[in-house]
Amino acid sequence: MSRWILVAEDEPALGEMLCDNLALESYHAEHVLTGPQALERMARGGIDLLILDVMLPGCDGFEVLRQLRGRGDHTPVLILSARSADRDRIRGLELQADDYLPKPFNLRELLLRVDNLLRRSAPPGPGTDLLDFGGNRVDFRTMRARTRTGEDVELTATETKLLKLLAAHRGTVVSRKIVVEHLFGSQAALTVRTLDNVVLRLRKLFEPDPTAPRHLLTVRGLGLRFDG
């Protein structure tokens, strides 16, 4: 599964260069220019790693990080800073940044650090082919599941992808837009309806009471959330 990276960098050329290079490494990369934009984008969910410049308009990177951690968002954060003073590095680490790279940086080093952070946090991948919740077991590799009543069922590729995406962001809301893009690509038009149908079938399979779901939750106006 491709990972989503948000780059918060107010220097347009640098932000674009980073996104281009991340895309070459097969990541999905998005770019925002200000602190508030970064917070707003993170709130919509679905981001696996944030590359965060310190000097940003609106509110600086430290403030973005403080607010993220304050609202319980533990997405890995790599801080980029032109200010290489120890004080800044320590401040970032105090605010629970996961890594810190002073500018100017070596691009290869940045990409390696990104890869390391994602590997450390990686929920999907080998060894996590199984998802257990509420007495159900899903095997992502074979796209089969055994429900809490002992029934063996086959899942479609879309159902498997949706469960995998939501499980990778367990406990946090993933916006419908992100889900739709992830499942169907951005061109799809009839996809909100399709998504609803996918969610309905998964609830029928895995929820004791599909009308009062405990695992596959719709958060009105925001998106979907998986609680394991």
- CB closer to Ca ion, 14 vs 219: 14
Choose the stretch contacting Ca ion; rule: CB under 5 A; options: 47-55, 118-126, 193-201, 219-227.
Answer: 47-55
**Is there binding between residue 59 and Ca ion (CB under 5 A)?**
no
Is there a contact between 2 and 23 (Cβ–Cβ < 8 Å)? no
Choose the stretch contacting Ca ion; rule: CB under 5 A; options: 7-15, 39-47, 173-181, 193-201.
Answer: 7-15
Question: Going by C-beta distance under 8 Å and a sequence separation of 6 or more, which residues neighbour residue 164?
Answer: 1, 124, 131, 140
Which residue in the set 43, 55, 111, 118 belongs to the binding site for Ca ion (CB under 5 A)? 55
Shortest spacing between CB 102 and Ca ion, in angstroms? 13
Compose the 69-108 pattern: x for residues touching Ca ion by CB under 5 A, - for all others. Answer: ----------------------------------------
Backbone angles phi, psi at 135, to 5 degrees: 85, 0
Instruction: In whole angstroms, give the CA distance from residue 153 to residue 178.
Output: 27
**Is there binding between residue 118 and Ca ion (CB under 5 A)?**
no
**Is there binding between residue 53 and Ca ion (CB under 5 A)?**
yes
Instruction: In whole angstroms, give the CA distance from residue 138 to residue 205.
Output: 11
| Count of residues in contact with Ca ion, rule CB under 5 A | 3
- The sign one gets for the Cα dihedral 33, 42, 89, 80 is negative
- CB closer to Ca ion, 56 vs 174: 56
**Is there binding between residue 10 and Ca ion (CB under 5 A)?**
yes
Choose the stretch contacting Ca ion; rule: CB under 5 A; options: 10-18, 111-119, 144-152, 155-163.
Answer: 10-18
Is there a contact between 94 and 112 (Cβ–Cβ < 8 Å)? no
- CB closer to Ca ion, 33 vs 117: 33
Instruction: In whole angstroms, give the CA distance from residue 141 to residue 161.
Output: 11
- CB closer to Ca ion, 10 vs 181: 10
Shortest spacing between CB 14 and Ca ion, in angstroms? 8
Backbone angles phi, psi at 207, to 5 degrees: -100, 135
Choose the stretch contacting Ca ion; rule: CB under 5 A; options: 2-10, 12-20, 73-81, 197-205.
Answer: 2-10
Choose the stretch contacting Ca ion; rule: CB under 5 A; options: 55-63, 122-130, 135-143, 174-182.
Answer: 55-63
Strands (E), 11-166: 28-32, 49-53, 77-81, 99-102, 130-133, 136-139, 144-146, 152-154
Torsion of CA 115, 118, 122, 124, to 10 degrees: -70
Backbone angles phi, psi at 21, to 5 degrees: -70, -35
- CB closer to Ca ion, 18 vs 131: 18
Residues that bind Ca ion (CB under 5 A): 10, 53, 55
